[in-house]
Amino acid sequence: MFRKLLLAMIKEEWRMHTKTAKNQTFAYFPLLIGIGTFVFSLFIPYLLSILTTEQLFRYVHFIFVFFGVSVGAFGLFGKEIMNRRFGQISLLAYSSRALPVSEQKVFLAFFVKDIIYYLFLWIIPIFSGFLLASPFIGFSIGTSFIACGSLILSFLLGLSLVFFLSTVYAHSSILLLLLLVGSGVIVAVSTLVYSITLEFFLFPYSLYYSFSWIVLALLLAIITVSSLISVVFVNVEYSSKKKHYRNLLTPWSQRFGFSHYAFYMAKDFIDLKRSEGGLGKVIFSFLLPVFFTYLFLSVFIELIPGIESVMIFAIFLGIVSATIYNMLTEFDSFNPYLFLPVKVSTILRSKINSFLIINIFSVVVLAIAALTMDQIYYFIPALLLFISIAVFMLSVTVYLTGLHPAFLMYDSKVFIPYAGILCPVLFVATLGAIIYPLSMLASPLLLPFAWILFKKSFTKWDQWTPVSI
């Protein structure tokens, strides 16, 4: 039964991502990731001119832990996912209610399916590209295989720990907060008082440089036990809890009275407010990668003196901020508007307005970063750079994916032009920010191109036939 359920969920995941694209274009996505990794790997020798091999692999291990955290974070707001996403898209996740299948078995199948899905879609293509490039960059195949194995363990560690936290959250948000605070205190005390580095807690990285059966057993035990606890104590029974809301459309639309799209923007913010985690969900998923980037830059910039870190931070902040559009469209569909005199471009404009309002928070984050980095004198060029990158990336996303960025981005025909447009722009911006930061005062030159793409997007998507997702 479990094997059949797992296979059915894998097929279901495939259907979700091929509904808006042909099977072939979605299947080519891993190939593109592999080719991109191969090309990037060829530049590793240049990175090793400013970093040691140990530093480079340490950063990569942290990246894979974070990747596992981001994948496993589906459960941090699991109530909303189960009630909204699965209720509309996936009947299998609710099969335990109508069929003689336990919730534990259903959730375990979902967990395993996600591991398999991301392994084949992202991780294996990344490793394949790196392994193919290994002979050209001076890495032996054996060493590269060992590195890939430790990186898989880093991914599983991040995934299983957040999966465990999601189950804790489903039972008690207070307990989750206590666990996070307690873990933070332990790490802080270990680092500040006992001079224990963060690498001590990164077991896969330790295994790569100093193999130990005890450490391996401990790591596997953490991954296995946290996953089993999550499955055994999974909580997806939310139907007994009823929520009642007063009408918020009128007061919220009055707040956005300055816009022609006040009612649609009000709907966006009410949806966020009434979903599990509310607007805090957006802020949390936004702050986590930004925080890791801040820590990374704090260490990395010390190795390259003379670089204004706030400028690099502004670029990454613009990249991360652009993903807020994905959140605004994640659970929205144009189909409910089909019987109303509403154009797709109207909804797109409202999402863009909501995006700009939420990103006021990003400006605050950038100001705090400039202050703490002691680079407030570069705040204006950093601010202009951030706005230009975020808006330009948004325009490209809207033009290529419309209201469905989470699905269409896996279409090779979409991903290739997306990367082809943005990579050169980000490369030039990064180079300019490093060589002459004040040159980024000219970064608003991107905005007219963004405006042209927005105009083309409205025309393009008004001619689009909606697809049920």
Angle between helices 278-303 and 262-274 (to 10 degrees): 80
Cβ atoms < 10 Å from Cβ of 162: 22
pLDDT, average across residues 118-135 = 88
> Which tens digit of pLDDT belongs to each residue from 95-108?
656 667 777 777 78
How many C-beta atoms surround the C-beta of residue 164 within 10 A?
Answer: 23
Contact 274, 252 (CB under 8 A): no
Q: Can you say how many angstroms the Cα of residue 21 is from the centroid of all Cα atoms in its chain?
A: 21
Residue 240, pLDDT score:
47
HSE, side-chain direction, 13 A CA sphere, residue 414: 22
pLDDT per position as a tens digit, 159-168: 888 888 777 8
- How far is the C-alpha of 450 from the C-alpha of 461, rounded, in Å? 16
pLDDT for the residue numbered 304? 56
Q: What is the pTM of this model?
A: 0.68
- Indicate the residue type of 218: L
Q: What is the mean pLDDT of residues 245-263?
A: 79
According to the model, what pLDDT value does residue 384 have? 95
Residue 347 pLDDT more than 60? Answer: yes
Q: What is the pLDDT of residue 372?
A: 82
Instruction: Tell whether the model's pLDDT for residue 172 goes beyond 80.
Output: no
For the chain, which residues make up each domain, given as ranges? 1-239, 248-469
Cβ atoms of 269 and 354 closer than 8 Å? yes
pLDDT of residue 299: 56
Contact 458, 398 (CB under 8 A): no
Longest alpha-carbon distance in the chain: 66
Q: What does the pLDDT look like over 280-329, one tens digit per residue?
A: 555 556 666 676 666 666 655 555 556 778 888 899 888 888 878 887 88
Check residue 81 and give its pLDDT. Answer: 44
**53 vs 81, residue with greater confidence:** 53
**pLDDT recorded at residue 239:** 47
Contacts 24+ apart (CB under 8 A), 195-201: 199/58
Whether residue 352 has pLDDT greater than 80? yes
CA–CA distance, 82 with 77 (Å, rounded to integer): 9
The SS3 assignment for 248 reads coil
Closest by CA position to 105, among listed 236, 261, 294, 291: 236
Long-range contacts of 64-67 (CB under 8 A, 24+ apart): 64/151, 64/152, 64/154, 64/155, 64/158, 65/154, 65/155, 65/157, 65/158, 65/202, 66/158, 66/289, 66/292, 67/122, 67/155, 67/158
- Lowest mean per-residue pLDDT among 45-54, 382-391, 392-401: 45-54
In angstroms, what CA-CA distances link 341 with 268, 338, 344? Answer: 19, 8, 10
Percent of the chain with pLDDT over 70: 76
Q: Which two tokens stand for residue 456?
A: 């083309």
> Per residue in 13-72, pLDDT tens?
777 666 655 555 666 778 888 888 888 888 888 777 767 777 778 778 877 887 787 776
